[in-house]
Amino acid sequence: MAVPPNVSPTAFNAALVAWRQAVGAEWVFTSAEDVALYRDAYSPYWGEPEERVASAAVAPATLEQVQAVVRAANQHGIPLYPISTGRNLAYGGSAPVYSGSVVLDLKRMNRVLEVNERNAYALVEPGVSYFDLYEHITKAGLDLWIDPPDPGWGSVIGNALDGGAGWTASPFRDHFGAHCGMEVVLANGEVVRTGMGALPNSRSWQHNRWGFGSWVDGLFRQSNLAVVTKMGFYLMPRPEALASATVTAARDEDIVPMLDVLNLLENQHVVNGSTSIFGGPDRPAGNFPAWTITLPIYGPEEVVRAQLNYARNKYAAIPNVKFTQGEVFRTPLPPEALARVRLVNFGIPNLSTFAMLGRSPGNPEPDGGHIGFSPIVPRTGESLLEFKRFYRDNLAKVTGGENLGIVGPVYMTCWDRTLVCLIMFPIGRDKARNAKMRAAFKSWVQLAAERGWAEYRAPAAFQDMISDTYSFNNHALRRLRETIKDAMDPNGILAAGRYGVWPKHLRKT
Amino acid sequence: MKALPRSAARGALLLALAALTPGAQATEGASPPPASSGKAVYEYWCAPCHAPGPGHPGTQSLQLKYAGKVPAVLLERTDLSARAVAVFVRQGILLMAPFRKTEITDSELAALTAYVAGNFKTPSAGR
């Protein structure tokens, strides 16, 4: 049996006894075989000494059990690493950031506690996946949509806490931004409810996120200050229709006015769907437009048709740009339409994204997993063209001229006003190849930071490095976070190292 | 994370088309499974990747790997023993990560493997 670092076998055994009493022996995992199930299948250090691995796992099913587990860990100084469904693949999966931590596996907390149709919200536990919430809403016959990310088995809470995004309308596809109210267990085992939830017998916990006084929910995003046990989310009433249009341009420089209009349309809430941007100077040979932007619009049919016309008129003012209206889908989709659409755009969770990431005709021998570097770039045509040049000019330097199968950049528009410029790296079981991916990843992080661009979310192995790039005023932000960490978790038991924040006893300086 | 194939240009084109293009059926990833039903465990955990038809990465991968020598759809396989199924569930393969015991318990795994290996035919000796 493995023992966490800096923990005596006596202390660990005492914690194990307390955990077994709290959750039942069958939900405390210590055998090498069981603990191996918590390895990060997409670890860029797979099989190497630097791979982040768990020492054990404990899986409570209730709030009270979480409290008991955390209290025992705090008493005995055991590092815990909470996971929700553990499917945060490419960002660490179910493995801890601090190797040797005990994984606090919340998958068994899988209750949908409430879905309110009239005020369009849900309250869920961490083990609830997008599949689960979709199923619950569908079975209940409620006229609400969820906003799934690509993999439907992810946790609704976990994805929001990790900064994830989905594929339907703004503001719902910013998952943390769409939450309302949290319940968290602090490192000492105390339960806190945020916003209106702090009112005993509150009747508006999921109606109003602000409550009274300072708003603390942001402390629990991409952080390590508490264990989140409940979270509310705003849901989108089923839109009557989804309309779309495609805008193309012939010249590379046309992207500048194209994105200016796109920003206007999004900031006016005329275009509210998840747009896509493709093309640029390195587009494939042949008769392809320089740029293609898709414009999905959700709403009542007569309204979205008017919004499409408005968008058409705005783009008509740009020379050389072609606006093509696409199909207007009415919802619920008829069965025959399901095969023609990308389901996540219709609030239907699935796993089809892995069909493109895994073995495919274009990639018959895949490495296995992948990781991504996704810097945030202002959403202007000039910035996009600058990033294209940046990628092209540095690729050979970053890879040593070798074709490593790195894919990029792809421009995502999860959030208003920015582009997420994704570069993807295949990860597998070949240590030498993984080492090259890590080196390339680190080079991109450094080169991007020199330009003022940085990542929004990262695999565990690179969180320290990326946190280091957010260094304004001698890392003042990280030092502030460390001050808060030390105050809220003085024994440093919760998710040490997550997003670059380490407890005092593990900090290098 | 968005979906990408290996080549950036190809990826951009596929994504352009994918904005409103094919996906999977809506009924997969359904109800949390009762412990006793291998079929329910399969439909909840396996079908989203291994059901027939496009948009199922497991089926697609096995189709490309075996090129029709064995069926790409798991439930049509006759060469999968319960033991083999259990190994894939607990060890994973390629981008399929292993399933933990909080996801599929040992008793659920036993029911699942019996269900998936229901068509298993032991290879006869001497062939």
Residue B99: CATH number of its domain = 1.10.760.10
What is the per-residue pLDDT for B25? 33
Check if A290 contacts B (Cβ < 8 Å): no
What per-residue confidence (pLDDT) applies to B34? 53
Q: What type of residue is B14? A: L
Q: How many domains does chain A have?
A: 5
Q: Does the CA dihedral B98-B103-B108-B112 come out positive or negative?
A: negative
* Letter string b/e over residues A465-496, b meaning 16 or more CB atoms within 10 A of that residue's CB: bbbebeeeeebeebeebbeebbebbebbbbbb
Same domain, A482 and A423: no
* pLDDT of amino acid A229: 98
Q: Does B52 touch chain A (CB under 8 A)?
A: no
What letter would DSSP give residue B33?
A: P
Same domain? For A24 and A100 the reply is yes
**pLDDT tens, per residue, chain A with 509 residues:** 899 999 999 999 999 999 999 999 999 999 999 999 999 999 999 999 999 999 999 999 999 999 999 999 999 999 999 999 999 999 999 999 999 999 999 999 999 999 999 999 999 999 999 999 999 999 999 999 999 999 999 999 999 999 999 999 999 999 999 999 999 999 999 999 999 999 999 999 999 999 999 999 999 999 999 999 999 999 999 999 999 999 999 899 999 999 999 999 999 999 999 999 998 777 777 788 999 999 999 999 999 999 999 999 999 999 989 999 999 999 999 999 998 999 999 999 999 988 888 898 888 888 889 999 999 999 999 999 999 999 999 999 999 999 999 998 999 999 999 999 999 999 999 999 999 999 999 999 999 999 999 999 999 999 999 999 999 999 999 999 999 999 999 999 999 999 999 999 999 86
- ipTM exceeds 0.90, yes or no: yes
Residues A169 and A231 in one domain: yes
Chain B residue whose CA is closest to A332? B26
- Calculate how close chain A gets to B80, using CA atoms only, in Å: 20
Tens digit of each residue's pLDDT (9 = 90 or more) over A229-254: 999 999 999 999 999 999 999 899 99
Identify whether B6 is part of a domain: no
Same domain for A246 and A233: no
Q: What is the C-alpha to C-alpha distance for residues A431 and A439, in angstroms, rounded to an integer?
A: 12
Please indicate, yes or no, if residue A3 is contained in any of the structural domains: no
**CATH number for the domain harbouring residue A142:** 3.30.465.10
**What is the rounded end-to-end Cα distance, in angstroms, of chain A?**
31
Tokens of B46: 């396996």
Query: Could you tell me if A117 and A233 lie in one domain?
Result: yes
Residues A230 and A121 in one domain: yes
Question: In this structure, are residues A411 and A420 in contact, taking their beta carbons and an 8 Å threshold?
Answer: yes
Q: Note whether A342 contacts B22, CB cutoff 8 Å.
A: yes
Q: How confident is the model at residue B36, as a pLDDT?
A: 65
Report, as residue numbers or ranges, the catalytic residues of A: 91, 456-457
**Bridge-based pairing state of the strands A102-105 and A80-83:** parallel
Burial class of residue A211 (count of CB atoms within 10 Å of its CB; 0-12, 13-18, 19+) = buried
Mutate to test the interface with B, among A356, A414, A422 (most CBs of B within 10 A): A356
Domain count across chain B: 1
Residue B47 located in a structural domain: yes
* Residue A294 DSSP one-character state: E
Write out pLDDT tens, residues B74-127. Answer: 999 999 999 999 999 999 999 999 999 999 999 999 999 999 998 888 765 544
The neighbouring-strand residues paired with A363 are A360
Range of the domain at B58: 29-119
Closest by Cβ to A110, choosing from B15, B32, B54? B32
Report CB contact under 8 Å: B22, A353.
no
Q: Rounded to two decimals, what is the model's pTM?
A: 0.93
A456 interfaces chain B, CB cutoff of 8 Å: no
Inside any domain, residue B44: yes
* Interchain contact A340–B (C-beta under 8 A): yes
Asked whether residue B45 is assigned to any structural domain, the reply reads yes
Considering CB atoms only, which of B9, B49, B98 is closest to A37? B98
pLDDT digits (tens, 9 = 90+) for B35-89: 569 999 999 999 999 999 988 999 999 999 999 999 999 999 999 999 999 999 9
Looking at the complex, report in whole angstroms how far the Cα of residue A128 sits from the nearest Cα belonging to chain B: 10
From the CA of A348, how many Å to the nearest CA of chain B? 7
Among A201, A325, A333, smallest CA distance to B22 is for A333
Are A423 and A482 contained in the same domain? no
Q: Using the beta-carbon criterion (under 8 Å), do A292 and B101 form an inter-chain contact?
A: no
pLDDT for position A315: 97
Number of A–B residue contacts, CB under 8 Å: 210
Which residues in chain A are contacts of B35 at CB distance < 8 A? none
Q: Is A364 inside a domain boundary? A: no
Q: What is the CATH number of the domain that holds A319?
A: 3.30.70.100
Domain extent for A502? 469-506
Q: Is residue A349 part of a domain?
A: no
**Mutate which: B10, B20, B89, vs A, most A CBs within 10 A:** B20
For A240, list phi and psi in degrees, rounded to 5: -65, -35
The runs of H, that is alpha helices, within A6-112 are: 9-23, 32-36, 63-76
* Residue A94: inside a domain: yes
